[in-house]
């Protein structure tokens, strides 16, 4: 079977139709070039050139082979370029898991920044809760995840990406909607929609601990896991809720948001998790891009 070097010799001679000039372009002498062409013709079993003392022309077989040879060389160059880009982390494919609440602000910005800064990396998105992402990461079904709770496990990288305050979600006509300087005491006795308790959703434990510490007893009317569902019920007038600030981008007709002072340490957090033994070069490029996005949003 012929080699790429033979194809380069052939296409150069076909372009110059002169062995001396072709040899000069290839930085070689004429006899080795002639031998390469003869060997290629022997391997193909056809004559590619008609030679005379005055001219060199392509045969019909040579003209047909030239089209294919140029295509093969282009594909070979593209393959080499792709391999180098993958090795540098500039190209490749990754699977990113994320919790639903990350889509309100953070994830869309991550995807937009990655499309601009890492156009050669294909990112497949999978919505999962934190527990599902932890299991998927162990099984290598995802390359990295955006979760609500840190993952403490040997061989797993984990870092906090974002910390944001909670805001009070309430119906627009509620008396607290116009009150200045809201604090946690304003929630005492109020109908309240709370995040359900789960091992992978820390908000229930965080907020119930806050209430206990301040002696606040809201009237909990629903326990739910989805921020979107909670806000839909607030919009319907069923109660108040504390949600991450990024959720205030959600719009319902009767839904409003107010800042509220809850004290130090009461923050919503997003964590990034990944396998430290993942050898995909694109992973580290995307990790850096996600960190930059997080830094810009936190500034």
Lowest-confidence pick of 47-61, 81-95, 126-140: 81-95
Task: Report the pLDDT averaged over residues 215-235.
Answer: 95
Cβ–Cβ under 8 Å, residues 259 and 167: yes
Q: How many CB atoms lie within 10 A of CB 241?
A: 27
Q: Which residues on adjacent β-strands are paired with residue 162?
A: 270
Q: For residues 143 and 126, what is the distance between their CA atoms, to the nearest angstrom?
A: 11
What pLDDT is attached to residue 88?
67
Reported as a single tens digit per residue, the pLDDT across 172-224 is: 999 999 888 999 999 999 999 999 987 667 899 999 999 999 999 999 999 99
Tokens of 60: 């019909």
Domains 92-161+269-298 and 165-267 share a fold: yes
Q: For residues 156 and 132, what is the distance between their CA atoms, to the nearest angstrom?
A: 15
* CATH number for the segment(s) 4-87: 1.10.10.10
Average pLDDT of the chain is: 90
* CATH number for the segment(s) 165-267: 3.40.190.10
Angle 268-273-275 (CA atoms, 0-180°, nearest 5)? 170
Tokens 């390359």, residue located: 143
Reported as a single tens digit per residue, the pLDDT across 66-83 is: 999 999 888 888 777 666
Confidence of residue 100 (pLDDT cuts 50, 70, 90): confident
Q: Which of 243, 290, 297 is nearest to 268 (CA)?
A: 243
Report the percentage of the chain scoring pLDDT > 70: 96
What pLDDT is attached to residue 89?
63
Q: For residues 107 and 290, what is the distance between their CA atoms, to the nearest angstrom?
A: 9
Q: Which of 171, 148, 173 is nearest to 158 (CA)?
A: 148
What pLDDT is attached to residue 91?
64
CATH 3.40.190.10, applies to 92-161+269-298: yes
Is the pLDDT at 157 greater than 70, yes or no?
yes
Q: Which of 244, 224, 283 is nearest to 236 (CA)?
A: 224
Reported as a single tens digit per residue, the pLDDT across 139-156 is: 999 999 999 888 888 999
Tokens of 281: 């070069």
Domain boundaries, the chain: 4-87, 92-161+269-298, 165-267
What pLDDT is attached to residue 262?
95
Q: Element (H or E) spanning 289, and its range? A: helix 281-298
Tell how strand 144-147 and strand 267-275 pair up. antiparallel
What pLDDT is attached to residue 150?
87
Is the pLDDT at 170 greater than 90, yes or no?
yes
What pLDDT is attached to residue 105?
85
Q: How many CB atoms lie within 10 A of CB 176?
A: 16
What pLDDT is attached to residue 85?
65
Q: Element (H or E) spanning 170, and its range? A: strand 156-171
What pLDDT is attached to residue 82?
62
Rg of the chain taking only CA atoms, in angstroms: 32
Q: For residues 102 and 86, what is the distance between their CA atoms, to the nearest angstrom?
A: 28
* Chain centre to alpha carbon of residue 48: 49
Lowest-confidence pick of 83-97, 129-143, 238-252, 264-278: 83-97
Tell how strand 156-171 and strand 241-244 pair up. antiparallel
pTM assigned to the model: 0.69
Confidence of residue 243 (pLDDT cuts 50, 70, 90): very high
């Amino acid at each position: 079977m012929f080699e790429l070097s033979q194809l380069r010799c052939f296409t150069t001679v076909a372009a110059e139709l002169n062995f001396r000039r072709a040899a000069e372009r290839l930085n070689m002498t004429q006899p080795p070039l002639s031998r390469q062409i003869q060997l290629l013709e022997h391997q193909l079993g056809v004559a590619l050139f008609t030679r005379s003392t005055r001219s060199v022309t392509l045969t019909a077989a040579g003209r047909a082979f030239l089209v294919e040879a140029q295509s093969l060389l282009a594909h070979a160059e593209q393959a080499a370029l792709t391999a180098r880009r993958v090795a540098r982390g500039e190209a490749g494919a990754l699977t990113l898991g994320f919790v639903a609440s990350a889509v309100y602000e953070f994830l869309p910005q991550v995807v937009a920044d990655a499309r601009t800064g890492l156009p050669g990396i294909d990112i497949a998105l999978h919505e999962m809760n934190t527990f599902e992402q932890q299991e998927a990461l162990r099984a290598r079904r995802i390359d990295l995840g955006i979760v609500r709770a840190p993952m403490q496990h040997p061989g797993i990288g984990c870092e906090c990406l974002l910390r944001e305050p909670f805001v009070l979600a309430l119906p627009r006509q509620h008396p607290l909607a116009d009150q200045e300087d809201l604090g946690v005491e304003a929630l005492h006795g109020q109908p309240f929609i709370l995040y359900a308790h789960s091992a992978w959703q820390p908000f229930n434990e965080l907020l119930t601990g806050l209430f206990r510490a301040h002696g606040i007893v809201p009237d909990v009317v629903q326990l739910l896991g989805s921020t979107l569902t909670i806000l839909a019920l607030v919009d319907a007038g069923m109660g108040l809720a504390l949600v991450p600030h990024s959720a205030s981008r959600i719009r319902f007709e009767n839904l409003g948001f107010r800042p509220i002072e809850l004290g130090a340490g009461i923050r919503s957090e997003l964590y990034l998790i990944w396998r430290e033994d993942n050898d995909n070069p694109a992973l580290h490029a995307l990790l850096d891009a996600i960190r930059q996005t997080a830094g810009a949003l936190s500034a």
